[in-house]
Structure 1
Amino acid sequence: MWAPYSLKRNLINNPWALDDFNGWTIKENGGDKWKIEDMPGGLGEEIPNPFVTKYFVTSYRSCKKSQLINLKNEGFSDDIMDNFQPSIVITDWFAGRRDCGCEYELLIQLLSKDKKTLHEFHPKPVVLPEGSNSQWKHITHTFSNYGPGVRYIYFEHGGKDTKTWAGWYGVRVTNSSVIIMI
């Protein structure tokens, strides 16, 4: 059954850090823990989206956060997911600072009703070396023809700085999205 609202929307709750950490589950909170900062932040740059005014930033030990998206609760029936299998497009934005290197990680899993992994996107960590530019970069992945049984999407990202400096010199993340292309 179709929901009375558009199904083609971002399924990530609070992608721009406007509502503190609401919607996110903190998986790892190392070093001085996760923090939210205003764009562009110290030695940072604006993201090419005028609506994004904040970002999440990691510290000197691993920081990871996640969301588990229940597709049925979002209006996607078993029939839609099993028979139509709409493309699932994942995008995440990340940046570092010029004065400290950082590492960025991303894990996306398509899960069954009993939360078993059916498909996974887990690229190698991206290392942004000290002295590199602090421009925002994005990573995108599309799941298609994934077969029946997908009921949840697990989204996890994070990282750390590479110099173990106290404070928030690690990777910055914002503007995350999970969009089902209906």
Structure 2
Amino acid sequence: MPGNLLKNPNGDEDLEHWELTENGGDQWRTEDMPGDCGHSFSDESVTKYFSTSFEPCLKRQVIDLIEEGFDPENLDIAQPAVDVVDWYCSRTDCGCIYKIIVTLLDENQEVIAEFKPDCVTLDPDTDDCSWNQVSHTFTDYGPGLRYISFEHGGQDNKFWQGWFGVRVTGSSVTINL
């Protein structure tokens, strides 16, 4: 079984494998680390990140667990822990809003469980806007897991034209068998 089930989690392949569910303003783009955000990342192997614009930008991947080689019966019986990690930051000159929604889905892509924390607003005047990690582990969610939807993004909160919104990278979804 693979480790990280997300493809292109750091933008190494530009926006390949991501469905752009909202692509406002100047739209999504990828940048080289540390780029305009000015913050180095803790993992030196991560050399790129995704950046958002002045209107909402959200992108999503839906992972088909059967296609990834997981056995449906084993998923139903074991109900393995599903670990989600994402990293986000803002620029030092403009605040931003960060959003993440991860859902476990059944064979009809109906929601079994959801992780949808409140949006995070970062303000460079009052917050440490360097890379922050958000993580969540799904457990005891019941039988039926077949898909995982991972969606994240945001925007800047000053509506400046360009790519002043939230930066995201280091995203992962893993299943702990």
CA RMSD of aligned residues (A): 0.9
* Equivalent in the alignment of 2:144: 149
* Equivalent in the alignment of 1:98: 92
- Which one-letter code corresponds to 2:83 in the other structure? V
* Equivalent in the alignment of 2:114: 120
- Which one-letter code corresponds to 1:176 in the other structure? S
5 Å-filtered alignment, 1:23-172, equals: 23-131=17-125, 132-172=127-167
Distance of 2:124 and 2:56 partners within structure 1 = 18
Conserved 8 A contact 2:84-2:135 = yes
5 Å-filtered alignment, 1:2-41, equals: 7=1, 9-41=3-35
CA displacement at 1:79 relative to structure 2 = 1.1
Distance of 1:181 and 1:154 partners within structure 2 = 17
Distance of 1:85 and 1:180 partners within structure 2 = 10
Unmatched tracts of structure 2, length 5 or more: none
Distance of 2:6 and 2:114 partners within structure 1 = 17
Conserved 8 A contact 1:59-1:160 = yes
Conserved 8 A contact 1:97-1:133 = no
TM-score computed with the length of structure 1 as normaliser: 0.94
Conserved 8 A contact 2:106-2:112 = yes
Distance of 1:61 and 1:22 partners within structure 2 = 21
TM-score computed with the length of structure 2 as normaliser: 0.97
Conserved 8 A contact 2:156-2:164 = yes
CA displacement at 1:134 relative to structure 2 = 2.9
Distance of 2:98 and 2:104 partners within structure 1 = 21
CA displacement at 1:129 relative to structure 2 = 1.1
Report the number of matched residues.
176
Query: Aligned to 1:180, what secondary structure does the other structure show?
Result: strand
Distance of 1:103 and 1:137 partners within structure 2 = 13
Unmatched tracts of structure 1, length 5 or more: 1-6
